[in-house]
Amino acid sequence: MPRQIDSIRFNETPEGIDLELRVAGPVPRALALFLDGLVRAGLYLVLIPLSALADTGVGLMLIGFFLLEWFYPVVFEVRAGATPGKRAMGLVVVHDDGTPVGLPASMIRNLLRVVDFLPVFYGVGLVSVLLDHDFRRLGDLAAGTLVLHAERRAPPRTIADTPPVQVPPGFALETQQAILSYAERGPRLSAARRVELAEVLTADGGIRGEAAVRRVEGWASWLARGRGLEAS
């Protein structure tokens, strides 16, 4: 089984094209939850004055509370792919094949928040997120959804002009794809992160440090010339 590097999930389309899905970890998701809590708190404050209208007003206020608690995330996810908190954090909810989330999946993932909340403040959900390699809580697992970092417009990705180094025989297709992905994303990574990821790919050869970075970039240059990317 190929080793996973970073938080990239590869999904193959029916046309054979690999999609890179950048799954969101617990920290940005927790911050998004906090921001949504602030938004909902403001909406609750708007509804509270209805209690002054006797029984009818109290009934309307309680209905508003119910709709906010259970359908606030569903409405935003189905219409825009993300709640205001998630959008502020650059996150989006999708099906696990990368397609926009639909009403049934959004309903399931949000109705199961009551289970994820147990025993207190998303204790079960946090454990699930930390144990799952795609950072999914129980609601996501049941609904078949992912929370991703939304794609931002960026200049076309290029591979550095590095002297090519032939990829060792026996490299799996998934490893070759990881090498190309590493080289394309390299300019956006810190020097320490580039070394860390390169050493994952060169671990079998014992190559470390900047030498590992140069070796992986050489492999990527060789693959970019159309020499490879076939199952070994």
**Spans of all domains in the chain:** 8-149, 173-224
* DSSP at 101: P
Helices marked H in 112-209: 113-116, 123-131, 138-143, 173-185, 191-201
Within 13 A of 43's CA, how many CA atoms are on the CB side?
A: 16
What are the tens digits of pLDDT across the range 95-138? Answer: 988 889 999 999 999 999 999 999 888 899 999 999 998 999 99
Q: Is 154 helix (H, G, I), strand (E, B) or coil?
A: coil
- With b for 16 or more beta-carbon neighbours within 10 A and e for fewer, the 126-150 pattern comes to eebbeeeebbbbbbbbebbbbbbbe
Distance in angstroms (rounded) separating the CA atoms of residues 147 and 134: 9
What are the tens digits of pLDDT across the range 167-220? Answer: 887 778 888 888 888 888 777 778 888 888 889 888 888 889 999 988 988 888
